[in-house]
């Protein structure tokens, strides 16, 4: 009798969806089929079908920040989502279920448990989300990308974050000579600024002002991804007559990471994983409104390994950034190289493969 598929539970934002896709692609290299559970309103509605993966749709949304009426109707909507998830499980009979947290994983994980399908969960951030904390009671195996994401009472295995295969290749292709034995080995520092697809206004406006404060002979070459803030970023660079490569979106992140010596960016879990794989130090400016302040915890974890600097957004002034850039550029021990090597030391490049193997193990399939 043939085994059922492996089901991925992930929805809403890229932080949940893209790790799920990385594992789904790894599973798809075998003879085992993959099916997804998600919503029609999240990112998964676009990117998952594009990969040829079938989706079971449920109706569920997050509750934070949605007002009192959302909480009033929450029990009814949750009951509907749980019913939809249970019916999807009955149709698909998955051999194993892998959840990535967020609101889709809640009803999907409980439905998997009710159906007797082995449930595995993965936490991407340094602080476990509410859904994953609850699902540890039902899961056969709990994985985490950062040490100590869960309380000590939870037996969680450190596995890293699954990321796109083209980024993983940067780990194997890492060029020690590029990373960066001394500042003198490069003509100019190559600074990659990642404002995110939404455009981080703090980065888009304050980075150009900070660069303008640097002496001209040490100003870096800059590649800035400004997202929706492209116009404001362009105006800011023009104001100070600074040369920059400016994009709203970078299609080829592999090329961008290969080009860069240092990155200024937010501290999303996947960004941290990609920096580690690429062997890149960073100046991290955590998004101050992230749930449970998880971006700050992500950043602190990365920096505690000697891979960069954290500047909270309320301290992220042009003067502060200019001072830190000057310190990095003029450091006789080459902080660029130290950051890069320490970032790479934190990489866990086998995350996708190891999660896929765990799914196969619990599904009882040979590959």
pLDDT digit string, tens, across residues 182-231: 444 446 899 999 987 666 899 999 999 999 999 998 999 999 999 999 99
Flag whether pLDDT at 66 surpasses 70: no
Q: For residue 1, is it within any domain?
A: no
Flag whether pLDDT at 252 surpasses 70: yes
Residues 327 and 235 in one domain: yes
Flag whether pLDDT at 64 surpasses 50: yes
pLDDT of 332: 60
Q: For residue 271, is it within any domain?
A: yes
Are 125 and 154 within 8 A, CB to CB? no
Residues 342 and 251 in one domain: yes
Tens of pLDDT, residues 337-358: 999 999 999 999 999 999 999 9
Residues 204 and 337 in one domain: yes
Average pLDDT over residues 155-180: 85
Residues 133 and 244 in one domain: no
Residues 138 and 285 in one domain: no
Average pLDDT over residues 154-161: 99
pLDDT of 184: 45
Tens of pLDDT, residues 13-47: 999 999 999 999 999 999 999 999 999 999 999 99
Q: Assign 1 a pLDDT band (cuts: 50, 70, 90).
A: very low
* CATH code, domain with 141: 3.40.50.2000
Residues 54 and 133 in one domain: yes
Q: For residue 326, is it within any domain?
A: yes
Question: By C-alpha distance, which of 55, 43, 37 is closest to 15?
Answer: 43
Q: For residue 246, is it within any domain?
A: yes
pLDDT of 221: 97
Residues 151 and 240 in one domain: no
What 61-66 contacts at long range (C-beta under 8 Å, 24+ apart), as own/partner pairs, is: 61/103, 62/12, 62/102, 62/103, 63/103, 64/291
Cα angle 107, 113, 119; round to 5: 90
What stretches of 215-293 show up as alpha helix (H) in DSSP?
230-239, 253-259, 269-278
pLDDT of 74: 64
In this structure, of 70-79, 299-308, 358-367, the range with the lowest mean pLDDT score is 70-79
Domain count, the chain: 2
- Residue 106 has phi, psi (to 5 degrees) of -60, -70
pTM of the predicted protein model: 0.93
Question: By C-alpha distance, which of 323, 313, 309 is closest to 213?
Answer: 323
Flag whether pLDDT at 71 surpasses 70: no
| Residue that wins the pLDDT comparison between 158 and 174 | 158
CA distances from 158 to 5, 150, 250, 355 (A): 25, 11, 30, 11
Average pLDDT over residues 138-160: 98
Residues 127 and 177 in one domain: no
208: tokens are 């150009």
Residues 182 and 282 in one domain: yes
Are 3 and 22 within 8 A, CB to CB? no
CB atoms within 10 A of CB 236: 23
Cα 154 from Cα 3, distance rounded (Å): 30
- State the average pLDDT for the chain: 92
pLDDT of 67: 56
Cα 246 from Cα 237, distance rounded (Å): 9
Q: For residue 154, is it within any domain?
A: yes
Residues 112 and 193 in one domain: no
Residues 218 and 303 in one domain: yes
Full domain range(s) for residue 272: 167-346
Residues 260 and 311 in one domain: yes
């Amino acid at each position: 009798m043939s085994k059922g598929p492996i089901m991925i539970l992930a929805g809403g934002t890229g932080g949940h969806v893209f790790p799920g896709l990385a594992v789904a692609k790894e599973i798809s290299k075998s003879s085992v089929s993959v099916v997804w559970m998600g919503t029609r309103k999240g990112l998964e509605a676009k990117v998952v079908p594009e990969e040829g993966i079938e989706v079971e749709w449920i109706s569920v949304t997050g509750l934070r920040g949605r007002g009192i009426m959302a909480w009033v109707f929450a029990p009814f909507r949750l009951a509907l989502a749980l019913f939809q998830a249970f019916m999807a499980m009955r149709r698909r009979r998955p051999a194993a279920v892998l959840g990535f947290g967020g609101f889709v994983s809640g009803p999907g994980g409980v439905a998997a448990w009710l159906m007797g399908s082995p449930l595995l969960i993965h936490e991407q951030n340094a602080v476990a989300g509410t859904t994953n904390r609850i699902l540890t009671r039902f899961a056969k195996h709990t994985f985490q990308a950062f040490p100590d994401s869960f309380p000590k009472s939870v037996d969680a295995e450190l596995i890293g974050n699954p990321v796109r295969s083209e980024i993983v290749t940067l780990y194997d292709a890492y060029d020690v000579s590029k990373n960066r034995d001394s500042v003198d080995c490069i003509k100019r520092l190559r600074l990659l600024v990642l404002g995110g697809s939404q455009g981080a206004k703090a980065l888009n406006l304050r980075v150009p002002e900070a660069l303008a404060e640097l002496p001209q002979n040490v100003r870096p070459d800059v590649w800035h991804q400004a997202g929706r803030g492209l116009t404001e970023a362009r105006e800011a660079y023009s104001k100070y007559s600074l040369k920059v490569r400016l994009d709203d979106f970078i299609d080829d992140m592999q090329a961008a990471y290969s080009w860069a010596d240092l990155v200024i960016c937010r501290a999303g879990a996947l960004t941290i994983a990609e920096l580690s794989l690429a062997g890149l130090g960073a100046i991290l400016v955590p998004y101050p409104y992230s749930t449970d302040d998880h971006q700050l915890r992500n950043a602190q974890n990365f920096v505690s390994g000697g891979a960069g600097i954290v500047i909270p957004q309320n301290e992220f002034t042009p003067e502060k950034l200019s001072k830190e850039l000057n310190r990095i550029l003029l450091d006789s021990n080459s902080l660029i190289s130290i950051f890069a090597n320490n970032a790479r030391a934190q990489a866990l490049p086998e995350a996708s493969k190891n999660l896929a193997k765990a799914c196969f193990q619990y599904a009882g399939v040979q590959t």
